[in-house]
Structure 1
């Protein structure tokens, strides 16, 4: 197990593995998102209270899940880099951040669009909304901090520390609806409990969530491969690889 872990940390080995996994992840992501979108937007029944406005959850919920999950993945990568100095972990964390910021923004934007007809307002300083906004600021802070250092090693350490400190916001986001009296509804569905929605409504949502995670995997593999070439461009194995492709 440890041998595989350290082998995965090799830029050359990760590049080769990612090249094989990348097309499968993109295909799976495209298929799941296409099926989930058509199923949820066209065939799922309207909500008895919210009507068709509820359909925004097929974007809002996967984006919110992904925004939080990506930040946790970045924190894990930051920890791995700080402890074992594995460069691929830092590359992955750096490449994940923009997608995490976009997904968090999408969750906030789609939540505001849903909130206007439901709550009568675009924004409330609700605990869930505020903690998600803090998550967006953390993403922006990590990306700005990386650009503030000239030395890559210093930038990687600073970003890793900020990410690991900021991960305390994730349980606040998750449990805010339980800890405080908030406007935001509880989780739409969880792994451990029976969904409150009818199966014909939550099943396409599950497909969309899986599609978004497949997209995250494909996006990360593609971006990390590009980053490996950028950082390792003068290494012999990269030069040999390009000679072979000519």
Structure 2
């Protein structure tokens, strides 16, 4: 993936990892479009930054994705990079029958959303020069946080889907997986101030070093996520599950 000279769409760009990536890529002379459900947050992301724009998008709504796709390809026909970053994370108690609204919303946002948006844009991207798709998974794709079971499952699914996408698009669109560890963001209550989590700025700076490598790694894994990413391959999966969930 080229680090500069792109037109990049980033979902979930109103806060957290999405906003931080948007700013770093914009600093590298990319045109960046951020998308999300909250226009006020998106406006804050692009404020004072020439060459950045925002469009409202609900990745959980197929009709909205269709309308959004038509608009972005009209307004930004040189789009060549898609970063599927939008996601939600909710705690769930699996020990008794419950309302499945949180689980269903998580699947729609974290899994169906990226699948639908990628599907809507893949034909365009296949014709674009130096095209790339970046799917944001999680260290929890490889070792689940049992208090957020559906979130962990959707990220495991995104990892698997990304492997298949990479194989099918080989030679036409570069497919990259960004694998964050626990980051200080507003994804869940109290997370932004959790001293056990990696600082957002530190994470993004380390990730951008990897994005700039040529060739770009197929997985962008900062050092801190290695404990989870390689747990099974290194024969310590059960220990990693126990340690992660002892918190």
Greater strand share, 1 or 2?
Answer: 2
Query: Do both share a fold (TM > 0.5)?
Result: no
Instruction: Normalising by structure 2, report the TM-score.
Output: 0.30
Instruction: Normalising by structure 1, report the TM-score.
Output: 0.30
- Higher relative CO (Cα under 8 Å, sequence separation at least 6) belongs to 1
Larger Rg: 1
Greater helix share, 1 or 2?
Answer: 1
